Structure 1
Amino acid sequence: MRDRIEDLALAGPGILLLALAFVLPITEMLRLSIVGADGGLTVEHFARFLTDSYYLGIVWRTIYLSVLITMICAVIGFPLAYVMARVRPGLRLWLIVLIILPLMTSVVVRTFGWMVLLGRGGLVPFTFWKLGFVGRNFTLMHTEAAIVIGMVQVLLPFTTLSILGVVMKIDRRLEEASRTMGASFFATLRTVILPLAMPGILAGSLLAFTLSVSSFVTPSLLGGVRLPVVAASIYDAATKTLEWNFAAAQSVILLVGVLLALTPYIKLSGRRHG
């Protein structure tokens, strides 16, 4: 009994903070989403979102871009994490610092930097123009490619560090045994390292997807008003048209959609990799 009291005393502040910062806002959001103009209960806000082709297009764009960003982060993050895990400790430290360094800068600042690089006359369009690939007035701003580039730069550290923690625990003797048995370097990566690193890849992909699907700043600045995502639609409904109930309904749909997408993902990773 005494141990339980001590455990509750230690966990109490955290539970209280979680209730105030998460449970209460979520509860209020759920309440707002089902309140109609007359104060009664209604599902008109959900019906409006789910039956309008414009909003369904926003949902599809958000899911499509999030999956693409997650895949690119995993494809880049795995070899990068492998290299970081196999170099000498001194060099690994500097590589980790380079990976973490962007996280010390505001996402807004980094996104504005991409706006300069990708906009008309920026370094990337100017380079493509000099190489003869595009015309003089080419720009990547307000395109899906700009959103993907910006989001990959933001989320790549999360994926890489998640994979790095798992790869560093893989016994190097397994690689040596595979090479001794005649497997090539790439065959060893595919048949030995990749399966053992899958828990880290799943964890990093999970982080990348959840952060991407709910991201607002980078997609809004790089995609513009022509390419809205769900988070931007929620922001517009809450701040521009002041439709708080509709914004709450969209938030609930986003939350439920993420949970539905992640539930089999989490079960699969838990069953296969513990």
Structure 2
Amino acid sequence: MSAASPRTTPYLLTAPGVLFFAALLGFPMVMTFVLSLHSYDFNTGIQSDWTLANYADVLGDSYFHKIFSRTFGLGLLVTLICVLIGVPEAYVLSRLSSGWRSVFLLVVLGPLLISVVVRTLGWALFFGGNGILTMTAQALGFSDEPVSLMFTFAGMTIALVHVLVPFMVISVWASLQKIDPQSEDAGLSLGATKFTVLRRITLPQAMPGILSGSIIVFALTASAFATPAIIGGRRMKVVATAAYDEYLSTLNWPLGATIAVLLLLANIVIILSFNKIIERRYAKVFE
């Protein structure tokens, strides 16, 4: 049997991974898209016809416009806050000694060892009308009435930042670890201030980590279900909870599949656009 040529070797090596990916992720996505092209009747269930009516319903309904706007607005806000918290935290971690770095990495990654549902329920106890937030506000004299962030946009934002900021820290910290400390020392030796070194040398080299962390946080926020379902409830629906309701409450699977497909497509478009903008502009910003 003849050996594979150098041109075909990479394809042969990646073929098992591609097939595995296609079987576990690609096939369900294709089936979801096919399901979204069928209509639904509340008396007879899913129909065998082919139609784009579900996409027309979602794209033309102001109710879904509001849900999608809330979802992506939440994603942008959570991503921005995670950048503001995670980048300085990662920078401090990169400057710590190995012993202290291990301790604080454990502190940062510790929440990831706990279920998202458990952490969100903890925030629900904190945000509730009779929770710690209310007791603290009343003890300090800020309010005599119950203070609650349940079923609010602010409550969802705080809970999702707590869940997702470790992903930002790890992404940025990985980029900072690749920076040669001598480049910063060279800048200081040439008369640059520490702020100038940070702006002109450190941040540009950390931008790949900030970009990848932002993409991860935004994608996870836009598709999050457990935290918005518990903290936001029915009052503050996002796309994931809307799709869930269509699947399990109204049993309109084609409409739920349509919402899921549109969420995926919107995520892809936003992430690719963001990636292109950052790649073109971030180098100029820090010149």
Give yes or no for TM over 0.5: yes
Q: Call closer, same or farther: CA 1:270–1:2 in 2, change over 3 Å.
A: farther
2-structure distance, mates of 1:155, 1:35: 36
> Of residues 97, 111, 117 in structure 2, which corresponds to 1:102?
111
Structure 1: which 5+ residue stretches go unaligned?
A: none
1-structure distance, mates of 2:74, 2:197: 31
2-structure distance, mates of 1:132, 1:195: 46
Q: Which residue of 2 aligns with 1:189?
A: 198
Q: Which residue of 2 aligns with 1:2?
A: 3
- AA matched with 1:198: M
- AA matched with 1:193: T
> 1:164-197 deviations in whole A, cap 9, x for unaligned?
0111222223333333444443343223221221
> Of residues 160, 164, 175 in structure 1, which corresponds to 2:169?
160
Q: Is the 8 A contact 2:204 2:282 kept in 1?
A: no
1-structure distance, mates of 2:141, 2:60: 45
1-structure distance, mates of 2:144, 2:202: 44
Q: Which residue of 1 aligns with 2:24?
A: 21
Q: Which residue of 1 aligns with 2:222?
A: 213
Q: Is the 8 A contact 1:125 1:140 kept in 2?
A: no
Q: Call closer, same or farther: CA 1:50–1:13 in 2, change over 3 Å.
A: same
Count of matched residue pairs: 274
Correspondence 1:146 to 2:155 = yes
Single out whichever of 208-217 and 165-174 deviates more from structure 2.
Answer: 165-174
> 1:206-263 deviations in whole A, cap 9, x for unaligned?
1000011000000110111100000000000001100000001111110110111111
Correspondence 1:126 to 2:135 = yes
Q: Which residue of 2 aligns with 1:243?
A: 252
2-structure distance, mates of 1:238, 1:107: 22
> Of residues 75, 87, 90 in structure 2, which corresponds to 1:81?
90
Q: Which residue of 1 aligns with 2:125?
A: 116
Single out whichever of 13-22 and 181-190 deviates more from structure 2.
Answer: 181-190
2-structure distance, mates of 1:83, 1:143: 32
What is the CA distance between 1:95 and its match in structure 2? 1.1
What is the CA distance between 1:9 and its match in structure 2? 6.5
- AA matched with 2:33: L
Q: Is the 8 A contact 2:133 2:147 kept in 1?
A: no
Taking only the aligned residue pairs, the percentage that are identical comes to 37
2-structure distance, mates of 1:237, 1:169: 46
> Of residues 237, 258, 261 in structure 1, which corresponds to 2:270?
261
Q: Call closer, same or farther: CA 1:162–1:31 in 2, change over 3 Å.
A: same
- AA matched with 1:80: E
2-structure distance, mates of 1:2, 1:219: 54
2-structure distance, mates of 1:192, 1:131: 45
1-structure distance, mates of 2:14, 2:204: 37
2-structure distance, mates of 1:134, 1:52: 40
Q: Which residue of 2 aligns with 1:92?
A: 101
Q: Call closer, same or farther: CA 1:188–1:123 in 2, change over 3 Å.
A: farther
1-structure distance, mates of 2:92, 2:150: 33
What is the CA distance between 1:272 and its match in structure 2? 7.1
